[in-house]
Amino acid sequence: MKILITGSSGMLGSDLVDILSRRHEVVTSGSLDIRDLEGVMELLRETRPDAVVHAAAFTDVDCAETERDTAYQVNVLGTRNIAAAASDVGSSILYISTDYVFDGEKGEGYLEFDEPNPINFYGKTKYLGEVSVRELSEMFYIVRTSWLFGRNGRNFVRTMVELAERGHEISVVDDQYGSPTYTRDLAAAIGDLLERPAYGVYHLTNSGQCSWYEFAIDIFNELDMEVCLKPVKSHEFPRPARRPSFSVLRNYNWSMEGFKALRNYRDALRDYLKDAGFVK
């Protein structure tokens, strides 16, 4: 297939380019501003991809609370533009969404058909992006994922290691739960999904779940580092955007389609630490 990837310089996008190009022809949106509808339409009409993987997004959850117009323009209008252009040229579209479309009140893993109810502005814009994709495309995949870590970009793992190397006492919330997900594993799974016209909504994460505090413990155990780590509650660590307390995603549709479950996040973490050079 010929696959167009937006956000190709990002943490997930860079792995998508690397992995998908081994099996398909890959083109990227380059420096195109996805808020430019005419520019998006021109690019899609020139490249005529079979599929578009839309990974470009405004992803700073806290900044989205104050930079609402920009977050809306990128995540809602930009996604609308990509979906409209993909429909115009007959391309399927795979949209990367988030666990933050849920409020975290369910108390158990979310299924694809559970009702979204985002509690921060970032989550609201990503959900509205989903709505645009559903309304404008008949050949869509919506892939919700969570707690990404990867080689190219800032992420929780890298932040924890850097803080530990500076000798800081590290406070980490222990009352928010999710499923850490390695971007290379996610990219490979997306590649498998694109090769089947099994359109719909998917939750795609590495297996297993933990709190941020437990994830930090896993990181330092793998690195054999002694760190002063302090568990705190969310209200003790206030941030501009509220986070859902339990946003674990059950990969239900993925398993119903017969795909193999992604490996446990601890195994993925071990490989990431080697790939990123933290383990010599």
Tens place of pLDDT per residue across the chain (280 aa)? 999 999 999 999 999 999 999 999 999 999 999 999 999 999 999 999 999 999 999 999 999 999 999 999 999 999 999 999 999 999 999 999 999 999 999 999 999 999 999 999 999 999 999 999 999 999 999 999 999 999 998 999 999 999 999 988 999 999 999 999 999 999 999 999 999 999 999 999 999 999 999 999 999 999 999 999 999 999 998 999 999 999 999 999 999 999 999 999 999 999 999 999 998 7
* Residue 246 CB neighbour total at 10 angstroms: 20
In angstroms, the Cα distances linking 106 to 63, 100, 115, 128, 233 are 26, 13, 10, 21, 19
Residues marked active site are found at 122
Contact assessment for residue 47 and residue 2, using Cβ atoms and an 8 Å cutoff: yes
> For the chain, what is the largest distance between any 2 Cα atoms, rounded to a whole number of angstroms?
55
Kindly tell me the burial class for residue 131, based on how many C-beta atoms sit within 10 Å of its own C-beta (0-12, 13-18, 19 or more): middle
Tokens 């359109």 correspond to what residue? 199
* CA atoms of 129 and 193, how far apart (whole Å): 20
Separation between Cα atoms, residue 249 and residue 213, nearest integer Å:
19
**How wide is the angle at C-alpha 259 spanned by C-alphas 255 and 262, nearest 5°?**
85
208: three-class secondary structure by DSSP:
coil
Report pTM: 0.97
Find residue 54's DSSP bridge partners.
6, 95
Tokens read off for 78? 């930009």
